[in-house]
């Protein structure tokens, strides 16, 4: 599969981890985390060309960014060095931002190891770190030179992390592809089919709107306006991202039905599927509408205080609605 972007294109290869690591250039530095390095020590070499970081969102910070780029300098990495991210979205976003800025940009290969990173963060070129003031506030569009998808790495992924990625998988189906929802529902889609299909869907969207200016890429935000607000008010604890957007998708489907945008009955189908995936679909804190709405208005995607949502029209279709009245959002949240 090839993804085209403004600076060129990159391939997405489906292969096993041994092959992906074996095919890396000699002049490279691998960035990974302790969990991935331990789980896959047989295949990921830990030597002077590897940087192993602590796991978790706190690693996606300016502190660790500085640590990694300084380490590249200490190891005398040049413009020809390739940075390789082997890990989840945290490692991918952090290493990608290091690659985007070290010596004004070096090559960057992604080998994502969580389902979420495989179907979402590794494709599309968004890289960056969090600030204490907010998530993803510093970053760049820096496309990788290659992405390798190795399905077998998912065998060591904890079940909760797998379900976390499945929230994004269901999202792709609900916003873009009703047939895919049916196949997922009947458990007919193998994991390699799920990976390939979601990546194809994401790649098509980012090719059509690389820099999120045309309202096409913003469609991927279904469930995220409320989901991000939940994460923010909880200080990014309690729920994983996919769990927060699972709750967000259900709440936004209810909002869509209330506004007459979403076909009646869609919420029920969505809720059932997410629940059988083991994902949360409600949270008592939703009733604190004020806190959530304040968080939504601060989101960097909200333009001048307006509330924008990607809402389902029916299963497999969505549209971007800007300027959703705050009163409707408040009523929906208060009713949950």
Ligand X SMILES: NC(=O)c1ccc[n+]([C@@H]2O[C@H](COP(=O)([O-])OP(=O)(O)OC[C@H]3O[C@@H](n4cnc5c(N)ncnc54)[C@H](O)[C@@H]3O)[C@@H](O)[C@H]2O)c1
Residues lying near ligand X in the complex (CB under 6 A): 33, 35-36, 39, 55-57, 60, 87-91, 93, 113-114, 116-117, 120-121, 124, 126, 136, 153, 156-157, 161, 164, 241
Return the number of the residue (296 or 329) whose C-beta is nearest ligand X. Answer: 296
Return the number of the residue (33 or 257) whose C-beta is nearest ligand X. Answer: 33
- Among the options 146, 197, 232, 241, which is catalytic? 241
Please calculate the CA angle 53-118-262 and round it to the nearest 5 degrees: 125
CA–CA gap between residue 138 and residue 127 (Å, rounded): 9
CA–CA gap between residue 14 and residue 306 (Å, rounded): 41
CB of 56 to ligand X, least distance (A): 6
Query: Active-site residue 219, yes or no?
Result: no
Return the number of the residue (41 or 80) whose C-beta is nearest ligand X. Answer: 41
- Written as six digits, the tokens of 27 are 């002049």
CB of 241 to ligand X, least distance (A): 6
Residue 189: CB partners within 8 Å, gap ≥ 6?
180, 183, 197
- Among the options 212, 275, 317, 326, which is catalytic? 212
- Among the options 60, 126, 171, 219, which is catalytic? 126
Query: Active-site residue 224, yes or no?
Result: yes
Return the number of the residue (64 or 261) whose C-beta is nearest ligand X. Answer: 64
**How many contiguous H segments (helices) and E segments (strands) does the chain have?**
13, 11
Q: Are 45 and 22 in contact (CB under 8 A)?
A: no
**Eight-state DSSP code of residue 83:** E
Return the number of the residue (153 or 253) whose C-beta is nearest ligand X. Answer: 153
Return the number of the residue (60 or 257) whose C-beta is nearest ligand X. Answer: 60
Query: Active-site residue 74, yes or no?
Result: no
First vs last Cα of the chain: how many Å apart? 42
Cα-flanking dihedrals φ and ψ of residue 29, to 5°?
-130, 125
CA–CA gap between residue 222 and residue 7 (Å, rounded): 28
Query: Active-site residue 5, yes or no?
Result: no
Please calculate the CA angle 182-183-188 and round it to the nearest 5 degrees: 145
- Among the options 35, 168, 219, 232, which is catalytic? 168
Return the number of the residue (110 or 262) whose C-beta is nearest ligand X. Answer: 110
H or E element at residue 64: helix 62-74
CA dihedral 11, 138, 216, 220 (to 10 degrees): 80
| Residues forming a β-bridge with 13 | 148
- Among the options 146, 196, 197, 202, which is catalytic? 202
CB of 76 to ligand X, least distance (A): 28
CB of 94 to ligand X, least distance (A): 8
Q: Whats the size of the chain, residue-wise?
A: 336
Query: Active-site residue 241, yes or no?
Result: yes
Residue 76: CB partners within 8 Å, gap ≥ 6?
none
Closest alpha carbon to 223 in 258, 247, 249: 249
CA–CA gap between residue 299 and residue 176 (Å, rounded): 24
**Catalytic residue numbers, as ranges:** 104, 126, 168, 202, 212, 217, 221, 224, 228, 241
């Amino acid at each position: 599969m090839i993804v085209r972007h403004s600076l060129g294109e990159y391939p997405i290869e489906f292969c096993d981890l041994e092959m992906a690591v074996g095919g890396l250039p000699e002049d490279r530095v691998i960035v990974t985390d302790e969990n991935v390095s331990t789980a896959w020590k047989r295949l990921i070499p830990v030597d002077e060309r590897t940087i192993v970081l602590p796991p978790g969102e706190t690693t996606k910070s300016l502190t660790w960014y500085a640590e990694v780029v300084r380490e590249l300098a200490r190891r005398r990495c040049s413009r020809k060095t390739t940075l390789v991210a082997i890990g989840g979205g945290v490692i991918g976003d952090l290493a990608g931002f290091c690659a985007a800025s070290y010596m004004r940009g070096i090559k960057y290969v992604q080998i994502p190891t969580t389902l979420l990173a495989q179907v979402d963060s590794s494709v599309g070129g968004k890289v960056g770190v969090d600030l204490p003031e907010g998530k993803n506030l510093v970053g760049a569009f820096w496309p990788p030179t290659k992405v390798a998808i190795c399905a077998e790495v998912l065998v060591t992924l904890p079940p909760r992390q797998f379900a976390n990625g499945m929230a994004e998988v269901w999202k792709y189906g609900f916003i873009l592809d009703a047939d895919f929802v049916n196949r997922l529902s009947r458990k007919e889609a193998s994991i390699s089919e799920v990976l390939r299909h979601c990546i194809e869907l994401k790649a098509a969207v980012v090719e059509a709107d690389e820099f999120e200016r045309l309202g096409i890429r913003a469609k991927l935000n279904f469930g995220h306006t409320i989901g991000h607000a939940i994460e923010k008010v909880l200080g990014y604890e309690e729920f994983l991202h996919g769990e927060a957007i699972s709750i967000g998708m259900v709440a936004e489907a209810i909002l869509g039905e209330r506004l007459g945008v979403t076909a009646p009955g869609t919420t029920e189908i969505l809720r059932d599927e997410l629940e059988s995936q083991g994902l949360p679909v409600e949270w008592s804190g939703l009733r604190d509408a004020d806190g959530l709405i304040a968080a939504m208005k601060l989101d960097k995607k909200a333009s001048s205080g307006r509330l924008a949502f990607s809402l389902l029209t029916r299963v497999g279709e969505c549209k971007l609605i800007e300027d959703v009245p705050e009163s409707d959002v408040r009523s929906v949240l208060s009713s949950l």
